[in-house]
Structure 1
Amino acid sequence: MLTSHCTMLSELLQGNDSGGFLVIQDSCRYSGRDLLRSFISSALDREEVVHVLCFESSEEELKDGLRAPGLQRLHFHNAYSDPLGWMDHSAFTVDKFSFEELTHLVKQSPHSRPATLVIDSLTWILRHVSPPAVCKTLQQLKKGGAVRAVAALLHADMHQRGTVGSVCHLATSVITVSPGIKGDEALAKITKRSKSGKVLQDEEIFSIKEDLTVTIQNKPSHLGHKQADPEEQQTDPTANLTFNLRLSDTEREAKEKLALPFMFSKEKKTALLHPNQGSGRILYEPDANDDFDQEDPDDDLDV
């Protein structure tokens, strides 16, 4: 459920377009799992069929706060207890993360209409399946079929930048969450790509209640400037040098007045380009003893 004016985050909560792929990108500073659970709750309120792959959280944890009327359309696939299949009793394992397996899994449910697939989380899968294989599966899921939309959690600080970039490049929407100024608030940086290729970006302050209701506040600019993340601050490479690379105003003025050796004054340019009559010139007239052959200029050398 959602309490807000019409914002980009509220539009995403109200439902993805067919073929949509949403990535909630978080870090150790702020978890995006509650926001992912809010998307599950919103999808159930719209009477959608939802399939959840549980890798990092148990079914009981993800169910907490969800309302009973929609739970019959919610299907959990447990990969939490045995994700690698070592004990051979897990309902889903990481090696089954493929387009064919997921399509078969979703079609086994009694509901015939396309479902929303929720992945908690892609980080666990990416640590055991190659990124190209994961991206291929996600790209195939985007094309539709048994799955109408995909929403996934991704821990950005646990992967190389190229891996995160590849996954987010496939996404139609990316929500990057970080702590807000107040304890119960968080900041969402949203990037949304329309079907025409236009890219929209926004930043919104939000909070999540115990019943998974999302309340969207004012824009961050209306609440004052938040202190920059130390990781995002640019360090000064000249801060600890034993010599000074900067010029004072006096030094800069003296530098600008300095005449460089390869720069000619106006008077010198005039003298060189327009020599006066009678100025010294060197003329060479060959005599009869000069034996200079144009065909062989080295003919006079004893070689």
Structure 2
Amino acid sequence: MLPELLQSTDAGGLLIIRDFASFSGRHLLKSFINASLNRNEAVHVLGFEISKEELKHGLKEPNNQRLHIHDAFSDPLGWTDHPAFTVQQFSFEELTHLITQTSQHKPVNLVIDSLSWILRHVSPTVVCKTLQQLKKGGAVRSIIGLLHADMHQNGTVGSVCHLATSVITVTPGTKRDEAVAKITKRSKSGKVMQDEEMFIINEDLTVTIQNKPNHAGSKRTDSEEQESDPTANLTFNLRLSDTEREAKEKLALPFVFSKEKKTALLHSGPGSGRILYEPDANDNYDQEDPDDDLDV
């Protein structure tokens, strides 16, 4: 599933790369930037955590006119007189103006490095509202954001990931250069797909899928399944043999009437009893007013 996400980004999509201190997801983020440039798509990058030169390192044609890196690393809080980009500009109106002013292309891909830096200075509610507004279209075609999960509370991480159409959680693999990607993708119909892949990022920032990670104990042998059978050590048998099953099918249940029994109950034969009522003089029965004897 990771190669499919690299090959194309859905319009209106929000892809979150969630990493931890044990493994950085920035190289995978730059792989997505390179993949967009290879598709001749315009890319705008908000760089908060590393310099503009370091962001360009390894990217295809760093001087490409379709690549716009907005330096938010030099002065992210606007302490100087002429800051390039500040965290206060992270709003739908400001970003739309910035993108339309510096790009003449059709809707672009917005890359945020990283959302964690913004969440430390802007309310999570405001960040989620801005992301939701950007998802609806306009100047931005899709959004790719890096999120350091161990820097925030679970509720904040969950709120941001809930907005995402795809979440890639990266963790270190068994070997030095390998990493594991746990992917959750939500389609427009609401279907959720999950996958887990082991990958390597090459020097040219291309991604090579190795294989599926092996989980010890995920598969059990037949003997193990037999030992875990809860009916194995019972003192009585819960299963029927063929002979017992045949005898059970022939058994007549007490509340199931046969055809002969129904006929005998519904049609009285000779000698059956009947109740005859003959009123006497003391009955005082009036046919015109059967309820005459009632005090109503």
TM above 0.5: yes
Gaps of 5+ in 2: 218-296
Once the two structures are TM-superposed, the CA of residue 157 in structure 1 deviates from its matched residue by 0.1
Once the two structures are TM-superposed, the CA of residue 177 in structure 1 deviates from its matched residue by 0.2
Aligned length: 217
RMSD: 1.3
Once the two structures are TM-superposed, the CA of residue 70 in structure 1 deviates from its matched residue by 7.2
Moved more, 121-130 or 207-216: 207-216
CA distance in 2, matches of 1:216, 1:147: 29
Asked if residue 140 in structure 1 is aligned to residue 133 in structure 2, the reply is: yes
| Structure-2 residue corresponding to 1:237 | none
3-state SS, counterpart of residue 16 of structure 1: coil
Asked if residue 73 in structure 1 is aligned to residue 66 in structure 2, the reply is: yes
Question: Is the Cα contact below 8 Å between 2:56 and 2:62 reproduced in 1?
Answer: no
Question: Is the Cα contact below 8 Å between 2:12 and 2:135 reproduced in 1?
Answer: yes
Normalised TM-score (structure 2): 0.72
> Amino acid of the residue matched to residue 102 of structure 2?
S
Asked if residue 201 in structure 1 is aligned to residue 194 in structure 2, the reply is: yes
Any idea what the Cα deviations from partners look like across 1:224-257, whole Å, max 9, x if unmatched? 649xxxxxxxxxxxxxxxxxxxxxxxxxxxxxxx
CA distance in 2, matches of 1:80, 1:37: 17
Asked if residue 57 in structure 1 is aligned to residue 47 in structure 2, the reply is: no
The percentage of counterpart residues that share the same residue type is 71
Once the two structures are TM-superposed, the CA of residue 109 in structure 1 deviates from its matched residue by 2.0
CA distance in 2, matches of 1:88, 1:140: 30
Aligned partner of 1:32 among 25, 38, 54: 25
Asked if residue 11 in structure 1 is aligned to residue 4 in structure 2, the reply is: yes
Asked if residue 92 in structure 1 is aligned to residue 88 in structure 2, the reply is: no
Question: Is the Cα contact below 8 Å between 1:44 and 1:70 reproduced in 2?
Answer: no
CA distance in 2, matches of 1:189, 1:214: 15
Once the two structures are TM-superposed, the CA of residue 201 in structure 1 deviates from its matched residue by 0.4
Any idea what the Cα deviations from partners look like across 1:9-32, whole Å, max 9, x if unmatched? 011101211000000000100000
3-state SS, counterpart of residue 102 of structure 2: coil
Question: Is the Cα contact below 8 Å between 2:42 and 2:105 reproduced in 1?
Answer: no
Gaps of 5+ in 1: 1-7, 227-303
CA distance in 2, matches of 1:24, 1:69: 22
Question: Is the Cα contact below 8 Å between 2:116 and 2:146 reproduced in 1?
Answer: yes
CA distance in 1, matches of 2:201, 2:213: 17
3-state SS, counterpart of residue 72 of structure 1: coil
Asked if residue 105 in structure 1 is aligned to residue 98 in structure 2, the reply is: yes
3-state SS, counterpart of residue 28 of structure 2: helix
Any idea what the Cα deviations from partners look like across 1:54-111, whole Å, max 9, x if unmatched? 1001111111111228721100111100000011322110000000000001101242
| Structure-2 residue corresponding to 1:121 | 114
Aligned partner of 2:160 among 157, 167, 170: 167
Say which one has the larger Rg. Answer: 2
CA distance in 2, matches of 1:53, 1:12: 21
| Structure-2 residue corresponding to 1:192 | 185
Once the two structures are TM-superposed, the CA of residue 160 in structure 1 deviates from its matched residue by 0.3
CA distance in 1, matches of 2:159, 2:21: 21
3-state SS, counterpart of residue 182 of structure 1: coil
Aligned partner of 2:15 among 16, 22, 35: 22
| Structure-2 residue corresponding to 1:247 | none
Aligned partner of 1:131 among 124, 127, 131: 124
3-state SS, counterpart of residue 14 of structure 2: strand
Question: Is the Cα contact below 8 Å between 1:51 and 1:76 reproduced in 2?
Answer: yes
Question: Is the Cα contact below 8 Å between 2:44 and 2:110 reproduced in 1?
Answer: yes
Aligned partner of 2:209 among 216, 234, 252: 216
| Structure-2 residue corresponding to 1:45 | 38
> Amino acid of the residue matched to residue 74 of structure 1?
L
* Cα gap change, 1:183 to 1:102, in 2 (>3 Å): same
CA distance in 2, matches of 1:138, 1:69: 27
Once the two structures are TM-superposed, the CA of residue 112 in structure 1 deviates from its matched residue by 3.0
Question: Is the Cα contact below 8 Å between 2:43 and 2:110 reproduced in 1?
Answer: yes
Question: Is the Cα contact below 8 Å between 1:47 and 1:70 reproduced in 2?
Answer: no
Question: Is the Cα contact below 8 Å between 2:44 and 2:111 reproduced in 1?
Answer: yes
> Amino acid of the residue matched to residue 175 of structure 1?
I
Aligned partner of 1:182 among 161, 164, 175: 175
